Structure 1
């Protein structure tokens, strides 16, 4: 089975930030950057990002500085240093405690939207920074207490770590690895339709979380067999995509199907089928649809189709 290279970067990759992790421990630098008028703040409100021009079809991230950012910080939510963007300190700030954060901002600053709905339309780099902020703020909001003893935690490392106030255990942001794979047999590929898909005609690549003590290749083979009964041979890495919805990274593969018969796990999938290249090239004509253009699933399918 030949390796198929990624044709272009995935959404949420290509961050313009220098994470400058060594500066997270510099209390004077962080304190000064929080008050500096040219520092940038990426607001997150209940897992949504502040965007402008969405209705016009030209979404762009709205980054705050100066007094506009200070008003959101006074809302009392967590914040964290993300890094340096063209030399400017950049922070994430969560304003979920406010029932409506827009009155805290200057007029016509945009609105809060689900990042997934517009990521493919954002300028390069912006989607990555917004995803970084969203994922880190989700972790901060959901991990206020120690998983060891249950006591309250307080932020460390400019918001990139938490320390227990009782047992001193340190906690760091988690990222859950998930494999996503296009299984290929001859001139056909295997796609499934999940019960969770809002689009009733969409078929996509199979995917699942990596289990403890399992290699990525083993996870690919196990997930495919569990969901469809198809045995997998060679597994080739393709690319990865951060997926902070809420805290995953998608690890993409092409995999060789050794068997053809499908034994569906009806708890996981509503349907699974083998599709020819001709069907994949014209899905609407054959009564189904593919994943969104900005997804790694679509990238896996299209790179195989055009290989």
Structure 2
């Protein structure tokens, strides 16, 4: 049985926490739009594009956005998690203004892109909160919409489930916030400020700004395919002494050029392998792996611990620890 441990997120949260004041009078006040734990079962992949010209940047002037992005993407860790079911929640009380359901859950490719033209949001819900405020929830799972037009909802009510419909290549809910029709970044309603937290935001409890991190890690007997890593099926629960190789992989988001991913495996007889790899370019998502072939006589029985660390400028941004026994 493989055991996973989250380490390092508390320190990162302390360093990069958004310490903005609560919403001001007249502003909408938002809760999280997913039934998940940030930094464990979900994470924020992208923010509203705060760059008014060509190019893109998030509200802290990092690369967690893309040109013209109009919302915040709350992602789950794998396709397997999506299929198991993760509820999308109303971020604030209001009335269901519009919805769409029935679009297929599929990774967008050039071959199927035209199927979603004009319906890029996929399956989704729009809620009118009054005073010009509305929220929109995109890419929900086909057949999961649990509300109807005109229905009054309370904050935290289930709207449906996270899916893969519309223009998307990873399972998430895209939350758009608008006031009088204009897009508002809930993290920085007055605009982004490089190197500093905004004066206020729209969150009831402000999610910490995570400038990149590890989504998952796991042991395998070979370097897995990226498709298996994203699907959540790459990790093997158990290995025996005759496994052809022992490989540890790490799946990350928000990687920047110059970052280093460090992979270490320790076994019952000491260190099995340590490997460091520098990123040659900024990437929204990535994975890397390292391992060792079976030694003569097979693998010693006992506990094996794998640690994957994401380093930036020599500082640890995140780490994930997994443990597995070979019997």
User: Normalization by structure 2: what TM-score?
Assistant: 0.30
User: Normalization by structure 1: what TM-score?
Assistant: 0.32
